[in-house]
Structure 1
Amino acid sequence: MSIGRVTTNQLWTSSMQYVQASKARLSQLSAQASTGIAITKPSDDPVASASIMKVLAQQGANTQYATNINDGLGWLSTADSALTSSENLLRQASDLTVQAANSGTSDAATRSAIATQLTGIRDDLLAQANTTYLGRSVFAGTSDAPAAFDPTTMAFAGGTATVPGGGAVQRRIGPGAGDSVTVSADGAAAFGAGTVASPSVFQQIQSVIDALNSPTYGTDTSATGPQATITAGISTLKTALSTMSAQHAVVGANYARLESAKTQNATTATDLETQRSGLQDADTTKSIVDLKSQELAYQMALQVTAQVIQPTLMSFLK
């Protein structure tokens, strides 16, 4: 049995390799202890790194969903407030129309005062219908129209050449196919399209105003005369209020869905962070213990290397 010759150079190289490896391990443990992260690059643990990347992607998507939800809540909250105010205004208009239709109290001065009040209500309703959120009309859908309703024609102005009425503004709140919620309100459905088949509430109120200001009031008693128009206005405004309330309910349902999604999103965010932490974060106590042990091992490696690599005869001959 022969024993291979170990040269000084081999001994030096082997010792330095061990010292360097010990120093690298010490640096890694020091980084873990200071940052609290066990895996900082794929080479640290390729299998765990793949799982970490997947969880991080899910966290990014969930964060975007949270942003979409908050934006959607802003849209719907704005629409809800506008519809609440609009319903109150429409009730006032309806009450004034009933008052105007009462021939026993509707003299010229009273009719003029009611017409003035209705004009103010009409203008306030138009302002509510043209409410915006972050510079976009909440009742015009995806349309880029400056206002949902034209102040002059009082007709629905939302929509484009390719999308009549405008498409609904939606926000994705989850990864599922059905996880999209409409965050805009249907202006044409809530206030009327402003067409012959579907006159807007502003046009309906304007009809009552025109009838109250008509010079033939009291003389034209035909089915299309001023008094008949005012009487018909009671029914049309009541129907308009019912239609608006139905659209308000749609907005409320979508808002409730987003509120529920917000709670679920927060729960998902917590679960994903727990997963990421379990895969990537270091055990603080274990990291400190391992660091102290590695510091001792490194110091011992230096001491042993210093003892083993003693000066040789060649050192004295230099």
Structure 2
Amino acid sequence: MSGVLNNTYTDVTFSLNRHTAALGKLQEQMATGSHINRASDDPTGAYRVLGLSTQERALSNHMANVQEASDLIQSTSMAIEDMSGAMAQAKVNLTQIVSGTYGDGATGQQARSRMAGYIDDTLEQMVLSANTQVLGQYVFGGNASNTAPYTVTRSDGQITSVTYAGSEQNRDVELSPGVTTTVFETGSGVFQNSDRGTPVVDSVTGAGIGSGTSSVTGDAWLTVTNDGTNYKLSIDGGTTEVTVPLVGDVSNMAVTNAAGKVLYVDATNLSSTGLDMVRVPGTYDAFNVLLNLRDLLLNTQDLSESQQVSLIEASSASLQELTEILAEKQVTLGSSIGFLENHRERLDGIRFNVQSERSQVEEADIAQIAIDLSRHEVLYQMSLQIASKLMSTSLLDFI
């Protein structure tokens, strides 16, 4: 009899423990809403959920990269838009100056001086925009985005030179595996033209352009002096000079400044001393154009009014050239923003599919759990009733 009772007790205990464990697991799934609460619940499913979770985190990181890149490019586009608008307005004002709208003589110079003040304000604004920061990074610094890309030299509070100190290489970021985009542009690539043309001289001295390949950029002043015997040429205000010989071929003289830049000059027809402005189309940068234009309007070189107005008109063409470059850059940035938005939507779609697949594997079927709970509760109660009857067995049951 003892052996029978022991076996009965063991069977009843096993059955009750099994139903208790099943009820506990189902109640946990009901409370958490998850089919897998620990790896042992479903090893295969847990492994799959782990992989899907890793993929989802990677997609979220890529989407964050896309959003950050989009914000940076938006800021870059806005800065360029401000610059482009300022230069376009300067071009309109210059047209009025050149057309004589404000008169000539002293009256005209007063108007030009007022315009020089506007150009100076525009220059200050341009430098501020070129040093735009987003999240502590300079958007026009290229790879050197931790330091201001443009530095200025001042005299009596006015900017006298603007120097690019940033990187010459764009900085790209990875949006997703194998997909990159430029987010930090180089200032030299945005604000300077690099399509060098043939130099042009507005000559009052008889100087011409030589056949050599010059390396000067933007606008340069060719100073022609005479020591009583020979003409002398300089492109840095007389700091370095080249003497024109009285005999020999002088059609391609190399005039070098202190920085090592060269202008090839044809001195064959030199007839007087003076200042000639040399323009090199396709090499302008926005800051030096504004600097030269401001100084022209102030007539710092003491030019005749006719020469001054002529050179101002020529400089307005440089403004137009740079305005067009900025407009092209805005179009490029707009395309980049559109690409980023499309890429973000694609990543979001992939992430949604991953989340849906993970939910199917991980989340519990609440309706099925409710049914299973009811079934196991009934079985548990039945087991208790059967156990009570079995455990009440006495010696009389075996007689």
TM bucket normalised to smaller = 0.7 to 0.9
Distance 1:147 1:196, change over 3 A: farther
The residue that corresponds to 1:192 in the other structure is: 192
- The answer to whether structure 1 residue 143 and structure 2 residue 144 are counterparts is yes
Q: CA deviation at 1:207?
A: 0.3
RMSD: 2.6
Task: Give the corresponding residue for 1:33.
Answer: 30
Q: Could you tell me which residue of structure 2 aligns to residue 155 of structure 1? A: 163
Paired letter, 1:8: L
Change (3 A) 1:9 1:193: farther
* 1:206 paired residue number: 291
Q: Deviations over 1:138-184 (max 9, x none)?
A: 1112314432221334222212xxxxx24324241x33x2x222223
Alignment of 1:1-318 (within 5 A): 6-102=3-99, 105-106=103-104, 107-152=108-153, 153-159=161-167, 165-172=168-175, 174-175=176-177, 177=178, 179-192=179-192, 196-197=216-217, 198-219=283-304, 226-310=308-392
Cα distance in 2 between the residues matched to 1:219 and 1:196: 25
Query: Secondary structure, in 3 states, of the residue corresponding to 1:170?
Result: strand
Q: Deviations over 1:77-114 (max 9, x none)?
A: 11121111111011112223333434673521011001
| Partner Cα distance (2:116, 2:380) in 1 | 94
Alpha-carbon contact 2:192-2:285 (below 8 Å) kept: yes
More deviation, 236-245/44-53 = 44-53
- Residue 290 of structure 2 aligns with an amino acid whose one-letter code is I
Give the unaligned 5+ runs of structure 2.
154-160, 195-214, 218-282
3-state DSSP class of the match of 2:142? coil
Q: Contact 2:284–2:322 at 8 Å: present in 1 too?
A: no
Question: Once the 2 structures are TM-superposed, how far is the Cα of residue 276 of structure 1 from its aligned partner?
Answer: 0.8
Amino acid at match of 2:388: A
Q: Structure 1 unaligned segments of length 5 or more: list them.
A: 160-164, 314-318
Structure 1 CA distance for aligned equivalents of residues 294 and 358 of structure 2: 65
Q: Does 41-50 or 248-257 show the bigger shift?
A: 41-50
Specify the SS of the correspondent of 2:181. strand
Deviations 1:123-143 (A, max 9, x none): 111111111111211111231
CA distance in 1, matches of 2:310, 2:83: 25
Using the TM superposition, give the Cα deviation of residue 228 of structure 1 relative to its aligned residue in structure 2, in angstroms: 5.0
- Per the alignment, in what secondary structure is the counterpart of residue 155 of structure 1? strand
Q: Residue 18 of structure 1: SS of its match in structure 2?
A: helix
Shift of 1:227: 4.4
Shift of the 51–239 alpha-carbon distance from structure 1 to 2, 3 Å rule, reads: same
* More helix per residue: 1
Change in 2 beyond 3 A, CA 1:39/1:55: same
Q: CA deviation at 1:23?
A: 0.8
User: Residue deviations 1:179-220, cap 9 Å, x none?
Assistant: 222223342222128995444201111001111222444438
Deviation at 1:311, TM superposition (A): 7.2
Which SS does the other structure have where 1:142 is aligned?
coil
Q: Deviations over 1:243-273 (max 9, x none)?
A: 1112112211110011112222222222111
Return the structure number with greater relative CO, CA threshold 8 A, min gap 6: 1
More displaced stretch, 27-36 vs 226-235: 226-235
Distance 1:151 1:310, change over 3 A: farther
SS of alignment partner, residue 164 of structure 2: coil
Shift of 1:62: 1.1
Q: Report SS of the residue matched to 2:326.
A: helix
Q: Which moves more between the two structures, 128-137 or 5-14?
A: 5-14
1:154 touches 1:200 (CA, 8 Å); kept in 2? Answer: no
The TM-score normalised by the length of structure 2 is: 0.68
How many Å apart are 1:42 and its aligned residue? 2.1
CA distance in 1, matches of 2:340, 2:294: 41
In 1, Cα distance between equivalents of 2:115 and 2:305: 20
Q: Which moved more, 1:65-74 or 1:137-146?
A: 137-146
Question: Quick one: percent identity of the two aligned structures?
Answer: 21
